[in-house]
Amino acid sequence: MHMHDDWTVGVMRRCGQRLARAREAAFDERAQATLEYALTIAALMAVVVALALLWRAGETGALAQLVEDACSHVLDGMGLLDIALY
């Protein structure tokens, strides 16, 4: 081989290494983006499910029952005293 051939092989090897690093970096960025989308979708689904559960609880009267249970101290004989001392 001539000196020129060795130089060409060295240049091609370095370019190949740079290309491999660029591919690896691009893959890492795509993997991160995929993970971010997955986490965002999971968070949005959690919000949708929570809102649906609140809607259902309000529709069935469970929220009204919770309010009544919280205010039950007003209904007994010591209610006014309890409120005044609060």
Q: What is the pLDDT along the chain (86 residues), one digit of tens a residue?
A: 455 566 666 666 777 777 777 777 666 777 788 889 999 999 999 999 999 999 999 899 888 888 877 776 555 656 666 667 76
Domain with 36, as residue range(s), is 3-85
HSE-CB for 27 with a 13 A CA cutoff: 6
Distance, CA of 20 to CA of 61 (rounded, Å)? 62
Sign of CA dihedral 58, 59, 61, 62: negative
- What's the pLDDT at 65? 86
Give the H/E segment covering residue 36.
helix 3-60
The number of folded domains in the chain is 1
Using DSSP, state whether 1 is helix, strand or coil. Answer: coil
Enter the pTM of the model.
0.49
- Choose among 22, 23, 1, 25: nearest CA to 10: 1
